Amino acid sequence: MPNAFISGTGYYVPPRVVTNDDLRTQYGIDTTSEWIVQRTGIESRRYAEEGVGSADLAVPAAQMAVKNAGIALTDLDMIVFATLSPEHCFPGSGVYLQQKLGLCDGPNAKFVPALDVRNQCSGFLYGLGTATSMVKSGAAKHVLVVGAETHSAALDLSTRGRAVSSLFGDGAGAVVVSATDVDRGIRSWKLGADGRFADTLSQRIWDIRKRPFIPQSAEGVGQVQPELMFAQMDGKLVFKNAVMRMMEVLMEVCVAEGINGTDIDMFFFHQANLRINQYLQQHLGIPDEKVVHNIQRYGNTTAATIPILMAEAVEQGRLKRGMKCAAIAFGSGFTWGAAIIDW
């Protein structure tokens, strides 16, 4: 049975930088940069322009990952696309990415399967586990795993929504998971979910149980109340569960591998809140040089945070072949996951 390793990484963030002060001066949100930084660690984020969707952001990230893997796009056997911000209710973003990458065009067209994963902040790790299983089973040799988000189009950019809207930014990260006979790669991974908290962090734009599934005016125009249209969150409860679950799942994958924290060279924590990650780092005794952060510059890019972190760490020379890494995430659902990777 082959091993599955990350053969290439890539990322892309839109060029428009929106600082904390911009939220106040451009959008009229009653906030301060100090208030946001103190609670989240975020100083700025990126916003895509109108007309740009998650699949658009994913294209340059995917192209970069494929190039760094040393393969051609036509060598891909599958696309796994993790996002909470697809272009439409359906179809998923994976098929749009397939078409935008040119896989459907010309005499060498390759109609690879495209799978969308809807596990929000832990979506990349759910996708990574899926890709690893496909490669190890022999069903695929190269799988493109993408996390991409266009949050800015669905944020309540007003004082009413400031507690949530200040957290999120747009961006995309991608990896290629490939087969190898070398003793390396994605070792142990563990995923979990607790549906008791499904509504604690949610964006319930419609309810398919109702008729009609979106309230309509007398003219048949859909009308959605703000508490349903925009994301809602119980921040204290999310913080408590994030710390507990991320710590638990990290320990589980370490036990599965027979290692402890000192054996890990680099930790990739999901970038939801710098305070959560600093709490985990302090509690676990992880030195600063083993942790990378980019939430200060990008905010929370949900499914894209971990692959962007990895791609930047490779680009900066911090993540090198032979290192042992841990990736950990927690998000809406509640869902969570962790993986140990011999890079």
Cross-strand partners of 193:
335
Domain total of the chain: 2
At residue 17's C-alpha, the angle toward residues 29 and 279, to 5°, is: 75
Q: Is 108 a catalytic residue?
A: no
CA 338, CA 341: separation in Å to the nearest integer?
Answer: 10
Reported pTM: 0.96
pLDDT surpassing 90 at residue 227: no
Q: Is residue 51 part of a domain?
A: yes
Q: Is residue 236 part of a domain?
A: yes
Q: Which two tokens stand for residue 343?
A: 């890079």
Q: Is residue 220 part of a domain?
A: no
- 195 φ/ψ angles, rounded to the nearest 5 degrees: -70, -5
Q: Give me the DSSP letters along 301-335.
A: -GGGHHHHHHHHHHHTT-S-TT-EEEEEEEETTTE
Q: Is residue 117 part of a domain?
A: yes
Integer Rg of the chain from CA: 20
Average pLDDT, the chain: 96
pLDDT value of residue 1: 87
CA 97, CA 93: separation in Å to the nearest integer?
Answer: 6
Counting residues of the chain whose pLDDT is more than 70, the rounded percentage is 100
Q: What is the mean pLDDT of residues 320-332?
A: 97
From the candidates 121, 142, 151, 293, which is the catalytic residue? 121
Query: Cβ distance 183 to 3 under 8 Å?
Result: yes
Cross-strand partners of 143:
78, 177
Q: Is residue 337 part of a domain?
A: yes
Q: Give me the DSSP letters along 189-235.
A: EEEEE-GGGTTTEE-----TTSSSSS-B-TTS-B---HHHHS-EE-H
Q: Is 270 a catalytic residue?
A: yes
Cross-strand partners of 337:
191, 329
- Among 158, 183, 208, identify where a domain stops: 183
pLDDT surpassing 90 at residue 202: yes
Q: Is residue 93 part of a domain?
A: yes
Containing domain of residue 309, as a range? Answer: 186-198+231-342
CA 184, CA 167: separation in Å to the nearest integer?
Answer: 36
pLDDT surpassing 90 at residue 121: yes
* 86/147 same-domain check: yes
Give Cα separations from 128 to 143, 177, 255, 330 (angstroms): 9, 8, 20, 14
Q: What is the mean pLDDT of residues 308-322?
A: 97
Q: Is 283 a catalytic residue?
A: no
Q: Is residue 216 part of a domain?
A: no
Would you report the helix, strand and coil content of the chain in percent, each value rounded to 5?
40, 25, 35
Q: What is the mean pLDDT of residues 27-48?
A: 96
From the candidates 68, 241, 277, 300, which is the catalytic residue? 300
* CB atoms near residue 210 (< 10 Å): 9
* 47/163 same-domain check: yes
* 176/27 same-domain check: yes
Which element (helix H / strand E) includes 33?
helix 33-40
* 150/190 same-domain check: no
Span 154-175, pLDDT tens digits: 999 999 999 899 999 999 999 9
* 192/155 same-domain check: no
pLDDT surpassing 90 at residue 226: no
Q: Is residue 275 part of a domain?
A: yes
CATH number of the domain where residue 314 is located: 3.40.47.10
Chain centre distance of CA 168: 11
Span 126-149, pLDDT tens digits: 999 999 999 999 999 999 999 999
From the candidates 119, 241, 254, 270, which is the catalytic residue? 270
Name the pLDDT band for 296 (thresholds 50, 70, 90): very high
pLDDT value of residue 147: 98
pLDDT value of residue 83: 98
